């Protein structure tokens, strides 16, 4: 496949749709996109929301990231109390 022709924003919107439909792997990817990838506006709270949703569905990679994010948030306060309790 020629990856140079892939539209990263289109990929994001497809993942976002799948995440909204409950696909845990897509929830993880949407969280990753909104935390790290610069295709969409960085939003740490939204990233946490989607990754936590995947973790709550027992998706192991997401559980590891949530633990790290919660530990980091105690140090730098990136996330609001709406998502971390």
Cβ proximity of 12 and 35 under 8 Å: no
Q: Which of 37, 56, 57 is nearest to 47 (CA)?
A: 37
Buried (b) or exposed (e) across 41-50, using 16+ Cβ within 10 A? eeebebbbbb
Cβ proximity of 28 and 44 under 8 Å: no
The structure's pTM equals 0.68
Q: What is the pLDDT of residues 16-52, one digit of tens each?
A: 999 999 999 999 999 988 887 667 888 888 988 999 9
List CB contacts of 57: < 8 A, sequence separation 6 or more: 24, 27
């Amino acid at each position: 496949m020629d990856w140079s022709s892939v539209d990263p924003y289109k990929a994001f919107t497809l993942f976002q749709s799948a995440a909204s439909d409950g696909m845990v792997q897509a929830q993880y990817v949407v969280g990753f996109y909104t935390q790290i990838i610069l295709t969409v506006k960085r939003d740490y709270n939204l990233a946490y929301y989607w990754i936590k949703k995947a973790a709550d569905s027992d998706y192991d990679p997401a559980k590891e990231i949530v633990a790290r994010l919660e530990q980091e948030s105690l140090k730098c306060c990136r996330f609001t109390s709406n998502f971390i309790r």
